[in-house]
Amino acid sequence: MKAAYIKETGGPEKIIIGELPDPSPVTDEVLVRVEAASVNPIDTYVRSGMVPAELPMPFVVGSDFAGTVEAVGEGVTRFQPGDRVWGANQGGHGRQGTFSELACVSEEWLHSVPVGVKEEDAAAMALVGITAHIGVVLRAKVQEGETVLVNGGSGGVGSMVVQMAKAMGARVIATAGSDGRVVKAKAFGADEGINYKTLDVGKQVLELSPNGVDVLWETRRETDLDWAIGLLANRGRMVVMAGRDARPMLPVGPFYVKDCALHGFAMFNYSANEQRQCGGDINRWLTEGKLKANIDRVLPLDEAAEAHHLQEENTIHLAGTLAGKIVLKPNGL
């Protein structure tokens, strides 16, 4: 099979496009023909070695995918050849990735692609969708009528948070880095949008929600907890999920007197059972038209290294040249 893989960690130039032996499914595994795979920041951290991971070499990069089942191992019960599936948990924990024509995936990590949903869209929503679901539903427990601030509402995770908070019945305020991206966040359902480059976000938020917000979702790798807790309402919850090296100071005084809570999590820590709950809601919202993919561009597999470079330039170096997911098509555009 054709694959994008590395033999050692390093920069995007370490990605090789070449042939690897076709994988074959054992016991609980499903062999998937990968129609679409999307790029996540974590893929670049794993590839570079910034996040130490157990990597079988040669290691196929990529976490997300959607495609069609080609064959199943003898213990597989939920899927059969021809089924369309998506998943988000490859490319780490000793598992091979998804930037390849074929991938073997344990069935516990698979979700069905609903009828009418394209593989490109399912792959683009996989990891970011599960991440947003964990934070919005399982951790912050967003309630109908609450106000949610999404700091970075037009990006991969942020655009999912905006849509899921709306699906839960919340009022959503989203920030974005240009007027065009503010429009985009509103198109995903945000009730209010703030350009964080031209406006004072804190001032704007308190004008829109004078008692503060019930939930503040931070997508930045470096946050300012003094600023954020100042924007929380009584019993407000903040979600942090980025920036492994970040060490912001927690202003304990204003935090505890308002009964606030801080939720941090990494989606890869959530079990297959927990993630199937996320996948179930995601599929339901997709079917109901409440969730849409946020795709910036679709590229052939041959451009995997360029895709990693572009993702890195934006997530780490804040280039502002990407607004949404990069989707790769291993089996042709």
Ligand X SMILES: NC(=O)c1ccc[n+]([C@@H]2O[C@H](COP(=O)([O-])OP(=O)(O)OC[C@H]3O[C@@H](n4cnc5c(N)ncnc54)[C@H](OP(=O)(O)O)[C@@H]3O)[C@@H](O)[C@H]2O)c1
Residues near ligand X (CB under 6 A), total: 31
Beta strand spans in the chain (E): 2-6, 16-19, 29-38, 59-60, 65-72, 84-87, 102-106, 111-112, 147-151, 171-176, 192-195, 213-218, 232-240, 261-264, 295-300, 325-329
Which residues in 261-288 are b (16+ Cβ under 10 Å) and which e? bbbeeebbebeeeebebbbebbbebbee
Q: Give the pair of three-digit tokens for residue 134.
A: 């964990």
Site string for ligand X, 250-279 (x = CB under 6 A): ---------------xxx------------
In the complex, least distance from residue 270 CB atom to ligand X, rounded to whole angstroms: 9
Using CB under 6 A, which residues numbered 44 to 73 contact ligand X? none
Which of the ranges 114-122, 165-173, 227-235, 318-326 carries the binding residues for ligand X, by CB under 6 A?
318-326
DSSP SS3 for 197: coil
In the complex, least distance from residue 233 CB atom to ligand X, rounded to whole angstroms: 20
Which of the ranges 12-20, 96-104, 124-132, 247-255 carries the binding residues for ligand X, by CB under 6 A?
124-132
Site string for ligand X, 181-200 (x = CB under 6 A): x--------------x----
Strands 232-240 and 213-218: parallel
**Phi, psi values for residue 42, rounded to 5°:** -60, -35
Cα–Cα dist 59/7, whole Å: 6
In the complex, least distance from residue 143 CB atom to ligand X, rounded to whole angstroms: 22
Which of the ranges 14-22, 26-34, 156-164, 280-288 carries the binding residues for ligand X, by CB under 6 A?
156-164
Q: Which parts of this chain interact with ligand X (CB under 6 A)?
A: 40-42, 127-128, 131, 151-152, 154-158, 175-177, 181, 196, 219-221, 241-242, 265-267, 314-315, 318, 320, 323
